Amino acid sequence: MLRAQIESFPVAGHFTIARGSRTEARVIRVEIERDGVIGSGECVPYARYGETPEATLQTILDQGPALAAGLDRTGLQATLPPGAARNGLDCAFWALEARLAGRDVAALAGLDWPRTMPTAFTISLDTPDAMAAAAARAAHMPLLKLKLGAAGDVERLAAIRAAVPQARLVIDANEGWQVDELPQLLRACAEVGVELVEQPLPAGEDEPLARIEHVVPICADESVHARAGLEALPGRYDAVNIKLDKTGGLTEALEVAVRARELGLSVMVGCMLSTSLSMLPATLLAGFARWIDLDGPLLLAGDRPGGLAYHDGLLDRSAATLWGL
């Protein structure tokens, strides 16, 4: 039996990136039930990729007859393309398989699944002073992820570094920088000790990255979704941000992580704005990752019951009951 529905979670304060602001996270919760056992998953349709909650929900529900006829997680990979719909179903299948087998989901995946891990904390795009103040309030976090990609980014970087002189910093430009300004912006990042710059140029317009000096490592996000796009990254990028809503679930995400390592790419594990039900499957990728960015629930006014615990930037799944056990 398949069930799915759209759910909304208000954002705490505001969440702003180069493409706009959001006041709520709209997610789709998916449940697959077999023999009285339920496996759950969550996905986030993303407008940047042409997805809407309504169309994604319908795509998921359309798989009901196939599931009733025996569709499993392996068959799902050929049935739907990478994207949010497949992610919701794939993660529900993983949880269902684990519960039917009475095994920890990490054992099924053959992974060491740490119970705690540090995560980045996102600072939304704002004025230099406002971002500096937000960074100062979060200075106790192990890693700050700064949303940039608008005029005034050099000033933002300077103000933030002055406010948090010891903080580790990574940048997400969300495709918001221009080629002609890229060398100056990368130098500004290097001067303040930024560890990583994520997706500075628009996807499809990133060929110039192969011709400039990477004074700071550059990470692909929108430029790659799944395994099919990985081979084009070396030379342009130094790292890849793996998100389950892009890969279409944990199944392909694990394959992306393995192949990225073979290609010499560092890995960031990232997320969309969503609840612990989205974060928990992504934590299985922690062993591959140099940077973990799974702070989605921290940006919401409230998380799901049974979710992750966060303590000063440390993600703790010890008491989570939503997924995987």
Count CB atoms within 10 A of the CB of residue 13. Answer: 11
Residue with tokens 């221009």: 178
Whether the per-residue pLDDT at 281 is higher than 80: the answer is yes
Q: pLDDT category, 118, cuts 50, 70, 90? A: very high
CB-based contacts of 28, cutoff 8 Å, min separation 6: 4, 5, 6, 7, 42, 43, 44, 45, 53, 56, 57, 60, 84, 88
Contact 4, 26 (CB under 8 A): no
- pLDDT value, residue 229: 92
Nearest to 13 by CA among 304, 312, 300, 302: 300
The residue type found at 259 is R
Distance of CA 115 to the CA centre of its chain: 19
* Domain 116-316, CATH: 3.20.20.120
Q: Nearest 5°: phi and psi at 240?
A: -135, 135
β-bridge pairing 121-123 and 218-220? unpaired
| Mean pLDDT over each residue of the chain, to the nearest integer | 96
- pLDDT value, residue 324: 80
Query: What span, in angstroms and rounded, lies between the C-alpha atoms of 101 and 228?
Result: 32
The full set of domain ranges for the chain reads: 2-102, 116-316
The residue type found at 95 is A
CB-based contacts of 47, cutoff 8 Å, min separation 6: none
Query: What span, in angstroms and rounded, lies between the C-alpha atoms of 243 and 269?
Result: 6
Proportion of the chain above pLDDT 90, given as a percent: 95
- Look at the alpha carbons of 176, 181, 186, 188 in this order and tell me if their dihedral is positive or negative: negative
- Best-predicted range by mean pLDDT among 19-28, 49-58, 107-116? 49-58
pLDDT of 164-220, one tens digit each?
A: 999 999 999 999 999 999 999 999 999 999 999 999 999 999 999 999 999 999 999
Which CATH fold topology does 2-102 show? Enolase-like; domain 1 (3.30.390)
Residues annotated as part of the active site: 147, 243
Whether the per-residue pLDDT at 68 is higher than 70: the answer is yes
Q: pLDDT category, 17, cuts 50, 70, 90? A: confident
Q: pLDDT category, 325, cuts 50, 70, 90? A: low
β-bridge pairing 116-118 and 121-123? unpaired
Burial 78-113 (b: 16+ CB within 10 A, else e): eebebbbbbbbbbbbbbbbbbbeeeeebbeebebeb
pTM of the model: 0.96
- pLDDT value, residue 13: 81
Query: What span, in angstroms and rounded, lies between the C-alpha atoms of 8 and 268?
Result: 26
Query: What span, in angstroms and rounded, lies between the C-alpha atoms of 69 and 2?
Result: 12
Beta bridge mates, 234: 237
Contact 121, 298 (CB under 8 A): yes
Query: What span, in angstroms and rounded, lies between the C-alpha atoms of 253 and 288?
Result: 11
Contact 138, 121 (CB under 8 A): yes
The residue type found at 51 is E
The CA-to-CA distance between both ends of the chain, in Å, stands at: 20
